[in-house]
Structure 1
Amino acid sequence: MAKLSGSKIIVECLLEQGVDTVFGYPGGAILNLYDELYKYQDRIKHILTSHEQGAAHAADGYARASDKVGVCLATSGPGATNLVTGIASAYMDSIPVVAITCNVGNNLLGKDSFQEVDIAGIVMPVTKYSFIVRDGNKLADTIRRAFKIAVSGRPGPVLIDITKDVTGDSFEYEYKEPEKVKPQVSVTEEEILNTISLIRGSKKPFALVGGGAILSDASEELRTFVSKVDCPVADTLMGKGAFDGSNEKYTGMVGMHGTKASNLGITECDLLIVIGARFSDRVIGNAKKFAKNAKILHIDVDAAEISKNIKADYSLIGDARLILRKLNARLDPVHHDEWVAHIERLKDMYPIKTNKSNLTGEYIIETIDEKTKDDTIISTEVGQHQMWTAQFYKFKNPRTFLTSGGLGTMGYGLGAAIGAKVAMPDKTVVNIAGDGCFRMNMNEIATATRYDIPIIQVIINNHVLGMVRQWQNLFYGKRYSQTILRDKVDFVKLAEAMGAKAKRVTTKEEFDEAFDEALKSNTTFVIECEIDSDEKVFPMVSPGAAISDVFDEKDLKINPIK
């Protein structure tokens, strides 16, 4: 046992947990920790982001891409509060992140001191747990507990706030091996047998896959399960990549911008097997009409999700991978040829078609899909480009799609792309943004160039807030209140000023050439793509409508929205 400064204990505990990279921004209250990080720079890499929010998103992207815990740091006051949006994004999508902030000294707490804020209280609703460490003797065990909480059960973010005097004073420290967290399953043999009986009695089963299947690394077990059940598969936005998007059983995304085959198939099925999804409002539409002909079997690690939004007839609580293994071991293959053929007909009748007449958002995404490898990591911001990516990029592997699904955070993708590339340096990383989202955190291009992080940033620029404008066009009488962005901002010049290579394209041919160049460049590369302001994402379900009421442009011409 040795006596170390609080800051040194923090760094040693990070090393205990296998942390090799942190993202952050220094300040007065956290200065002792940054002084210690200087001494450990050969063992822990620190990425200085341009803004604390970028650090939180980078830690999130690092975690999603690598299946490790992401770590971000910030000082007290505004530094800490700037992390909140990123922490909330991680919380909504169940991403394991540990955020470490430092506060004013114990003697200054509660006195409205300079840059003092109760960050542990502020983030309480959007973390699995938040700590404030005022006693250095509890520091090491608090950090260890935070990492364990972040990855246990349903993963999520944890915040540790540490007073400045604790980081400067000395305390006893002894190395401890990190505690291994085993995935939990609380299902009985009877529940497994009843579930198998339920599946065997179904004539029209349908599987819906969410982000929990990715977090539990259940892709292999999922493929086996789908093959044995012989059923079509849809995914939520967060579930993309859990099941191969090029597989013949795959029907596409479900929900507000889901395919007709998925939305109609789920409406018609007699058994909906939901694996690691939480029945978000954007997935289910009108809850009273969702899968109204089906019995619902819900598999989830979080018991609180069962019957929260949609009543489950049956449930299995625990790690999705382990539950699927148990089911696969006892389930003999069944066949639903007629049902699968019916869903195939729906896919043929209602394909999502790409407009290739000129440079469109759809064409851009489909081209990126064609030109990149299956292990490419795609991150997005939030809006039309996010939905086009979900519709037209065929994700074949888990942990290759990073997006803010639950919170819908504009400005998420660029920081996440940086974190993903740092975590997985041998993979191509592309962030896809709209012009409205890009301007939220575009200063992180400077972070990428500072560290020579070769990400590709694609900006689909329609000079409007595209998704909001689409709603205004369809539901608000074309009153485009504050959604037109035709200003004098030049993204190419801005990117070049921050040290990136940048090109603006207006045609399909120019985009093809620019993206090929970006793939070969091994540098931070920004491509601004000019598209029409009135492009829309279809299919679509009106807010509050049943997902079976999904419509496209052809439907609108027959039955215009009034």
Structure 2
Amino acid sequence: MAASTTPTPASVASSTGAKPGPKGPERMTGAQAIVRTLEDLGTDLVFGIPGGAVLPLYDAINRSETLRHVLTRHEQGAGHAAEGYALACGKVGVCIATSGPGATNLVTPIADANLDSVPLVAITGQVGSNLLGTDAFQEADIRGVTMPITKHNFIVTDPNKIPEAIAAAFHLASTGRPGPVLVDIPKDIQNATVEYSFPTKFYMPGYKPTTNPHNRQISAAVKLISEASRPVLYIGGGVVKADAHRELLEFAEFTGIPVVTTLMALGAFPDSHPQHMGMPGMHGTVPAVAAMQRSDLLIAIGARFDDRVTGDVDTFAPHAKAIHADVDPAEIGKIREVSVPIVGDAREVLLALTKTYQNSTKYPKPEIEEWTGYLSDLQDRFPRGWEPTEDGKLNPQQILEHLSAEIGPEAIYVAGVGQHQMWAAQFIDFENPRTWLNSGGAGTMGYAVPAALGAKAAMPDKEVWAIDGDGCFQMTNQELTTAALEGFPIKVAVINNGNLGMVRQWQTLFYERNYSNTKLREEASYVPDFVKLSEAMGCESIRVTTEEEILPAIQRAREINDRPVVIDFIVGEDAQVWPMISGGASNEEIQYALGLRPLFDENESAAEEPATIHETVEETED
């Protein structure tokens, strides 16, 4: 590991997507130096809310001719908007907050970005240096608070170190495993005078991420792959972060190996591709779960063996060896024993695997015709599906099928957390990377609306839809005002079942229908009335209660591009997400519940008629 990093302005710019800054010192305030460094790093937009400890910075922002500031209605909204911006375009997202409660309101999006590897820089104001540690008005040790949930953080006590700290934060956030970095700057440091020049070096002891995999590990992986009879590519969000979707497609098609994509990787491999088995895990497809459980080789690229994928680790893919490639060496072997560890960027790993395989005369492609035939049979037998509700109310799945068919795979879809998130993952067709944004690791309610705003800010020519639940929507819908006033005409589809849906589902299945504190409104009422509320915040709004109204409402929303649009879809409260493996249970449960035939049992014929996941699980429960 290197003791220090001494990049040139060009190398810093390259790692962050920025243009090199000017040469030579200029006299300015520390606050102006923050803005100038952001500009020199190529930042065009930041999200935030002013307050006493960042007034010098906001004075400088208002004088900038190139840096746009988006005034959100809550600091949490600023953080999630910066996440949505970063995920949609791949650049570093930036959010700003004042000291004390302003800074602590950023904790949730920072934690979210940390778990989902989002390149985020949070800049917070702090009380004056002479007041630190005195419990001064709006003082909070935000550096200490966020230490466990940031990739790194700084407090700047020397105004001349501001450019270095900001540039280093961008470099850390965007290289290696992406993540959040916080820079805390006292008010007096912002007011001080500095000699500004873009930093040519910064000191980061021990930080030198490995991006190029070791040839020996690549060769060992190719050997294992060639010997496998039931391999599966287990693809995580790291493939999206590394922009490695083309390399994944090339390697998958070259080898013919089936692919599963986690919740964070949807769009990294086309849903329509015959080798795609779908999403694995708790609410995954039958072919994806079976592909992993019955494989003899897991090829994990940019995935972290999350508990929502593995279930009970001891019974997860019990007969499979594992190749695990990740840019973060701490993830490799953390959950599952690994036969071949590969440290490196997902794109570089896939390139190396393909090149080694193509140039090898020693290792043939794996012979997997029987394996792919078995999985293809599962795809035919267990297509996605849903049953009409008993109360005659709208099916959430039906709404999302209509949405996907009408809008198509070029749009960006942003989900909140809960049932609607899983239905969106299951029933929207994803063909492209960076078109599916959601809170995976933290499971943050209230993520969708501000993240959609940020995605629209990053990609103004893209159609952006937030898929939200009525519970999530009530946490951060104030950011619709931001979207309306700042000119971000996002669309919001609220799947409104009047309940905290996923919690209610667990209460139905595991708590004897003891619905404790999950009802959000009375069935016959619209309190709150999302149509009136959205209109009050400057949006167009539509309520949909019948099947015939679904498509016209979606089409009407697409015609309106001068303000946000909210569609309030009223659905039944008892719709559930299927399939479902309970938390911590074995993935084998889905195999037993669905009565899957033994692997390669030629004496047992497939089902005569395809059975939907919903039908089969309900039959098993009965």
Instruction: Tell me if TM exceeds 0.5.
Output: yes
Please tell me the root mean square deviation across aligned C-alpha atoms, in Å: 1.6
1:199-210 paired onto structure 2 within 5 Å: 199-210=225-236
Deviations 1:219-248 (A, max 9, x none): 001001111221111111001111111111
Q: Which whole-Å CA distance do the structure 1 matches of 2:47 and 2:115 have between them?
A: 20
The partner residue of 1:498 within 537, 540, 546 is 537
Deviations 1:125-174 (A, max 9, x none): 11001111111121111111111110121000000000000111101111
Measured after TM superposition, the shift of residue 175 of structure 1 is 2.9
Measured after TM superposition, the shift of residue 395 of structure 1 is 0.8
Deviations 1:179-235 (A, max 9, x none): 9x9984353322222211111101111111100000011100100111122111111
Measured after TM superposition, the shift of residue 339 of structure 1 is 1.1
The partner residue of 1:25 within 28, 34, 49 is 49
Match of 2:506? 471
SS at match of 2:383: coil
Measured after TM superposition, the shift of residue 394 of structure 1 is 1.2
Q: Which whole-Å CA distance do the structure 1 matches of 2:209 and 2:368 have between them?
A: 32
Q: Which whole-Å CA distance do the structure 1 matches of 2:208 and 2:152 have between them?
A: 19
Match of 2:621? 560
Q: Which whole-Å CA distance do the structure 2 matches of 1:234 and 1:354 have between them?
A: 22
Q: Which whole-Å CA distance do the structure 2 matches of 1:55 and 1:240 have between them?
A: 25
Match of 1:353? 385
Match of 2:34? 10
Match of 2:176? 153
Conserved? CA contact 1:299–1:317, under 8 Å: yes
Conserved? CA contact 1:16–1:178, under 8 Å: no
SS at match of 2:417: coil
Amino acid at match of 1:166: I
Deviations 1:340-382 (A, max 9, x none): 1110101111122134676211011111111113221000100
Conserved? CA contact 1:199–1:229, under 8 Å: no
Q: Which whole-Å CA distance do the structure 2 matches of 1:324 and 1:452 have between them?
A: 40
Match of 1:121? 144
Moved more, 372-381 or 79-88: 372-381
SS at match of 1:331: helix
Conserved? CA contact 2:155–2:185, under 8 Å: yes
Match of 2:69? 46
Match of 2:154? 131
Q: Which whole-Å CA distance do the structure 1 matches of 2:431 and 2:367 have between them?
A: 24
Q: Which runs of 5+ in 2 are unaligned?
A: 1-24, 359-364, 594-612
SS at match of 1:261: helix
Conserved? CA contact 2:227–2:366, under 8 Å: no
TM score, norm. by length of structure 2: 0.88
Match of 1:395? 430
Measured after TM superposition, the shift of residue 306 of structure 1 is 0.9
SS at match of 1:54: helix
Moved more, 241-250 or 57-66: 241-250
Measured after TM superposition, the shift of residue 554 of structure 1 is 3.8
Moved more, 485-494 or 379-388: 485-494
Match of 2:421? 386
Match of 2:375? 343
Match of 2:120? 97
Deviations 1:41-63 (A, max 9, x none): x3111000010000000000000
Measured after TM superposition, the shift of residue 531 of structure 1 is 0.3
Note if 1:231 corresponds to 2:231: no
SS at match of 1:494: helix
The partner residue of 1:448 within 459, 463, 483 is 483
Measured after TM superposition, the shift of residue 178 of structure 1 is 9.4
Note if 1:404 corresponds to 2:439: yes
Moved more, 129-138 or 436-445: 129-138
Conserved? CA contact 1:355–1:362, under 8 Å: no
Note if 1:374 corresponds to 2:409: yes
Q: Which whole-Å CA distance do the structure 1 matches of 2:335 and 2:321 have between them?
A: 15
Amino acid at match of 2:38: L
Moved more, 495-504 or 259-268: 259-268
1:482-493 paired onto structure 2 within 5 Å: 482-487=517-522, 488-493=527-532
Measured after TM superposition, the shift of residue 557 of structure 1 is 4.3
Measured after TM superposition, the shift of residue 124 of structure 1 is 0.6
Moved more, 505-514 or 211-220: 505-514
Q: Which whole-Å CA distance do the structure 2 matches of 1:324 and 1:419 have between them?
A: 30
Deviations 1:401-423 (A, max 9, x none): 11000000000111110000000
Measured after TM superposition, the shift of residue 508 of structure 1 is 2.0
Q: Which whole-Å CA distance do the structure 2 matches of 1:224 and 1:559 have between them?
A: 40
Deviations 1:496-551 (A, max 9, x none): 00110001101122121111011111020000000000000001112222112125
Match of 1:422? 457
SS at match of 2:263: coil
SS at match of 1:344: helix
Q: Which whole-Å CA distance do the structure 2 matches of 1:515 and 1:46 have between them?
A: 31
Q: Which whole-Å CA distance do the structure 2 matches of 1:370 and 1:88 have between them?
A: 34
Q: Which whole-Å CA distance do the structure 2 matches of 1:89 and 1:139 have between them?
A: 26
Q: Which whole-Å CA distance do the structure 2 matches of 1:215 and 1:187 have between them?
A: 17
Conserved? CA contact 2:40–2:198, under 8 Å: yes
Conserved? CA contact 2:220–2:340, under 8 Å: no
Note if 1:112 corresponds to 2:151: no
1:191-202 paired onto structure 2 within 5 Å: 191-202=217-228
Match of 1:480? 515
Instruction: Tell me the percent identity.
Output: 47
Match of 1:167? 190
Conserved? CA contact 1:57–1:416, under 8 Å: yes
Match of 2:584? 544
Note if 1:296 corresponds to 2:335: no
Match of 1:517? 556
Amino acid at match of 1:387: M
Conserved? CA contact 2:387–2:615, under 8 Å: no
Measured after TM superposition, the shift of residue 335 of structure 1 is 4.5
SS at match of 2:429: coil
Amino acid at match of 2:270: D
Deviations 1:316-342 (A, max 9, x none): 110010111011012145442221111
Amino acid at match of 1:517: R
Conserved? CA contact 2:578–2:617, under 8 Å: no
Q: Which runs of 5+ in 1 are unaligned?
A: none
Conserved? CA contact 2:212–2:349, under 8 Å: no
Measured after TM superposition, the shift of residue 556 of structure 1 is 4.6
SS at match of 1:272: strand
Q: Which whole-Å CA distance do the structure 2 matches of 1:425 and 1:556 have between them?
A: 42
Q: Which whole-Å CA distance do the structure 2 matches of 1:475 and 1:433 have between them?
A: 25
SS at match of 2:621: coil
Specify whether residues 557 and 516 from structure 1 end up closer, same or farther in structure 2 by C-alpha distance, changes over 3 A only. Answer: closer
SS at match of 2:87: helix
Q: Which whole-Å CA distance do the structure 2 matches of 1:233 and 1:331 have between them?
A: 18
Match of 1:80? 103
SS at match of 1:238: helix
Amino acid at match of 1:323: V
